[in-house]
Amino acid sequence: MTIREMLIGGDLSLTPSEQRIVQLLLSEYPTSGLGTASRLAKRAAVSDPTVARLVSKLGFASFAEFQAELLAEVEKRVHSPLHMMETKRQPEASGVVPEYMASVETALRQSQSLTPLAAYEKAAQLIMEAKGSVIVLGGRFSRHVAGMLSEYLNQMRPNVRAIADLSASSFDTLADTSRKDVVVVFDYRRYQNDVISYARQAAAHDAKIILFTDQWLSPIAEVAEVSIVSGLDVASPFDTMAPAIAQAETLVAKILAVSGEKPLLRMQRLESVRKENSITLDEPVSSQ
């Protein structure tokens, strides 16, 4: 079992600052762990002892031992046949389309290793246990992902609201925000000031923040309860939102898995209403 797997699948209960370290380790794996413990601590904005406590929690006797293990992993990778091939040139995948698709696939896979499983669990819990509202919002592109997530969440619990556009009046909602509310924010590279501002203010009102962001971390991460992190690197001037969607949907799947009957019942009720009004077609029908 590699250290990465320990960090992702970790069934350890980690404290917030420990999670910060884990996040850093994962997003720059394994190099961020190969310097000194102090440097790691500084970069994760925690104190040296916190790093020491984390490695001991992970089952290592000392930071040195942890690092030795990490180094052994690097050794193994560097000598793997795959790595040997790296010197050879990769045959150019022909055409924009397969290339882009392949890069999305890479981004998706990368995303899986950037977010510890516990993050989904925590997020699911926060959403389903929120006594107040669940507010969902995002940036220029990601707000569409936010919209989709709110569509899903609406099926599973009441009081879910999506903020489609951060106009001045949207900020009014902050007045009623309290510790009972959960704010789900999507903020990816080209982090938007209005989104950041909204999140910060919501946090100041003690609302719980769930953040979806990319590997470079939106500043909102500082105030977020949970961060779900994705890799975005693709062959285009735009970043791909596919990992974001996948992660949002994964959260939905997780919620369904942990919360049993209740959301399913609500969904069935909503579905029967839809059928009554013949909004959906169950089977494709041919026209004429």
Q: Closest separation between CB of residue 39 and DNA, Å?
A: 6
Comparison of 13 and 286: residue with beta carbon closer to a copy of itself: 286
| Site size toward DNA, by CB under 7 A | 22
Residue 229 engages DNA in binding (rule: CB under 7 A): no
Q: Closest separation between CB of residue 75 and DNA, Å?
A: 18
Q: Closest separation between CB of residue 52 and DNA, Å?
A: 4
Q: Which stretch binds a copy of itself (CB under 8 A): 14-22, 50-58, 74-82, 170-178?
A: 74-82
The interaxial angle of helices 261-276 and 242-259, nearest 10 deg, is: 110
The tally of CA atoms less than 13 A away on the side-chain side of residue 18 is: 19
Residue 13 engages a copy of itself in binding (rule: CB under 8 A): no
- In terms of Cβ atoms closer than 10 Å to its own Cβ (0-12, 13-18, 19+), residue 95 is exposed
Separation CA 203–CA 196 (nearest Å)? 10
Separation CA 182–CA 133 (nearest Å)? 6
Cβ pair 63, 74 in contact under 8 A: no
Q: Which stretch binds a copy of itself (CB under 8 A): 15-23, 47-55, 172-180, 277-285?
A: 277-285
Q: Closest separation between CB of residue 177 and a copy of itself, Å?
A: 18
Determine the residue type at 80: S
Comparison of 54 and 156: residue with beta carbon closer to a copy of itself: 156
Separation CA 235–CA 207 (nearest Å)? 37
- By CB under 7 A, name the binding residues for DNA: 13, 15-18, 36-39, 45-53, 55, 62-64
